[in-house]
Amino acid sequence: MKSLRLALSCAAVVSSLTLAQGAAPAAPGAPPAPPPPADEIKRVMDYQENGKDRGPALLELTPCMKVDNTKGSPTANTCIEPVTGPVKKGTTVFAWTLWFCPRDGKYEDVSIQYLHEGQVRSTVDVTIQGLARTRTWRGYSLTKPGRWEIKILRGTQELGVTSVTVEKDEK
């Protein structure tokens, strides 16, 4: 049972990575895409089983307007309304993250930073733990017009960054 869960977790992560890299899902009625190459799956399985000291892998960082936190929902813990353009002043934007976490990994040195025009406005510590896929998100109200950046850090290493523009007030 343990090996089946491991194989399914690896397959889900590898297929998520493949989709994230731009591979389109099969058209309805078309034959399914073949599985990833064995060496790719083996690399992921090795990382899952032995990668605890290497740290978590940030798979996705999405600026998000709404995260589904409904228990039992098919989209639970998923960003269901990503930011697609400029937002209004005072809008709460979530830094929604998707991680791959190795077995027995628990990382308390991860933080989310919100910066306005290069100046840090907020830093929030998050703990990343679990086996295989895990998600976390934190929101912050963007109260000033201009360019905002959302950074994900592990210690001093930047793992990911994205930006959001806040519209100027109309007078």
Task: Quote the mean pLDDT of the chain.
Answer: 88
User: So what's the pLDDT on residue 26?
Assistant: 65
Indicate the CATH number of 55-171 among 3.30.930.10, 3.40.50.300, 3.30.470.20, 2.70.50.60. 2.70.50.60
Q: What is the pTM of this model?
A: 0.81
Give me the percent of the chain exceeding a pLDDT of 90: 79
- pLDDT value, residue 62: 98
Tens-place pLDDT, residues 18-68: 444 445 566 778 999 999 999 999 999 999 999 999 999 999 999 999 999
Q: Per-residue pLDDT for 113 more than 70?
A: yes
Mean pLDDT of 100-105: 96
The pLDDT assigned to 28 comes to 79
Q: How confident is the model at residue 3 (pLDDT cuts 50, 70, 90)?
A: very low
Torsion of CA 116, 122, 123, 125, to 10 degrees: -130
Contacts 24+ apart (CB under 8 A), 65-71: 65/91, 65/93, 65/94, 66/94, 67/94, 67/96, 67/137
Q: So where are the chain's domains?
A: 1-50, 55-171
Does the pLDDT value for residue 171 go beyond 80?
A: no
Mean pLDDT of 97-126: 97
